[in-house]
Amino acid sequence: MLEVIKIKIVIDAFGGDYAPTNVIKSAIEIKKELPNLEIIFAGNEKMLRNAASNLKLNISDFEILNAKDHISPEQSPREILKEKSESSMAIGLKALNDEKIDAFITAGSTGALAVGASFFNSKIKGVKRAALCPTIPSINGKFLLIDAGANLQCREDILFQFAVMGNVYAKKIFEIEQPKIGLANVGIEPEKGLSQHKEAYKLLSNCKTLNFIGNVEARYAPLGICDVVVSDGLCGNMILKTMEGTAKFLMKSFKEAYSLNFKTKLAAAILRKQHNQLKKRLDYKNYGGAILLGINKPLIKAHGNSTYKTLKKTIKQAVNCVEQNIVNEISCNIN
């Protein structure tokens, strides 16, 4: 497809823990694989050129959208609208309004991104709320969580739209013909949860184009019961972060237990490969970034601690979203 259309992606060069080094490296690397892809940096031009020069990397082929400043994770998300409206993230978000730009990626603050996108960018016509959607590992693969924290409370019609958007993403990007959609709830019975859950359950059950499997208890999300977990941002955030914390707890406990004595250390050394493979499988970064579904262009939040390799994956994810035209697909399904 890349021979047919030229894709232009803007990337926030000053978002995340390892910026701009990882951004520069990922852009140079991805160009080797996808020469027709155009990467544009958003960030302070002078600082960016200095960083590239220090790294002995050539970025003369890349366009730069000059930004005075950048948003740091310590700042209030709303600052992106005020003195930080000339930040690399704000510049990138605004660039997305240019019809020649196809997608935007940032590893910067999630809060600032949610605020900034809702201010600078348009939603797909008919979409009431944009939702933050990470791809999360499960025992038999992965699932999309919609929403992980952009909308703390959601009415039933919002939850229903999340299901529609998540369905499109899982179809197009996960390549699942009939994605299984579950509604995060405290029990499986239709009458469980708050009124919005009960009403969303009815709306989803009555929708013939969705493969709605019903309410899903949080314990079955990591056990791979469905491909899309629909949730308000508050519960979604609890699911996402509890998984992260529990995985860390277990991996650390294993490590401690295995370093008990010479024998256990030796056995652990034999199992190192398996252990590392599992660690890799659990690492969210390997599943790309979290897409902000509902915005009229693909807008992806890369992990704050993304390495250049992870950023490369996120760039590919953005390219895939553009090629699969998920925005148009959502637009067709939402109205």
Binding site for a copy of itself (CB under 8 A): 111, 138-139, 149, 152-153, 184, 186-187, 193-194, 217-223, 233-235, 237-254, 257-258, 260, 263-264, 266-268, 270-271, 274-275, 277-278, 281-282
Name which of 44 and 138 has its Cβ closer to a copy of itself: 138
Q: Output the CA–CA distances (angstroms, integers) from residue 234 to 147, 208, 244, 287, in the order listed.
A: 8, 28, 16, 22
Name which of 122 and 242 has its Cβ closer to a copy of itself: 242
Assign residue 325 a region: left if phi > 0, alpha if psi is -120 to 50, beta otherwise?
A: left
Q: Minimum distance between the CB of residue 62 and a copy of itself, rounded to whole angstroms?
A: 34
CB 61 within 8 A of CB 30: no
Q: Give the three-state DSSP class for 145.
A: strand
Could you give the CA distance from residue 59 to residue 200 in angstroms, rounded to a whole number? 49
Q: Minimum distance between the CB of residue 210 and a copy of itself, rounded to whole angstroms?
A: 23
* Closest of 287, 192, 179 to residue 224, by C-alpha: 179
Q: Minimum distance between the CB of residue 153 and a copy of itself, rounded to whole angstroms?
A: 6
Q: Give the three-state DSSP class for 131.
A: strand
Q: Minimum distance between the CB of residue 265 and a copy of itself, rounded to whole angstroms?
A: 10
Q: Minimum distance between the CB of residue 198 and a copy of itself, rounded to whole angstroms?
A: 11
Name which of 126 and 245 has its Cβ closer to a copy of itself: 245
Could you give the CA distance from residue 146 to residue 314 in angstroms, rounded to a whole number? 18
Name which of 194 and 332 has its Cβ closer to a copy of itself: 194
Q: Give the three-state DSSP class for 237.
A: helix
Q: Give the three-state DSSP class for 305.
A: coil
- The conformation of residue 213, written as its DSSP 8-state character, comes to E
Could you give the CA distance from residue 301 to residue 314 in angstroms, rounded to a whole number? 9
Name which of 193 and 289 has its Cβ closer to a copy of itself: 193
Q: Minimum distance between the CB of residue 312 and a copy of itself, rounded to whole angstroms?
A: 26
Residues in CB range of 2: below 8 A, 6 or more apart: 34, 36, 37, 319, 323
Q: Minimum distance between the CB of residue 308 and a copy of itself, rounded to whole angstroms?
A: 25
Q: Minimum distance between the CB of residue 84 and a copy of itself, rounded to whole angstroms?
A: 17
Q: Minimum distance between the CB of residue 141 and a copy of itself, rounded to whole angstroms?
A: 11
Length of the chain: 335
Name which of 1 and 152 has its Cβ closer to a copy of itself: 152
Structure tokens at 231: 């949730």
Residues in CB range of 119: below 8 A, 6 or more apart: 80, 81
Name which of 46 and 255 has its Cβ closer to a copy of itself: 255
CB 124 within 8 A of CB 49: no
The 10 Å Cβ neighbour count of residue 306 is 25
Name which of 76 and 325 has its Cβ closer to a copy of itself: 76
Name which of 57 and 250 has its Cβ closer to a copy of itself: 250
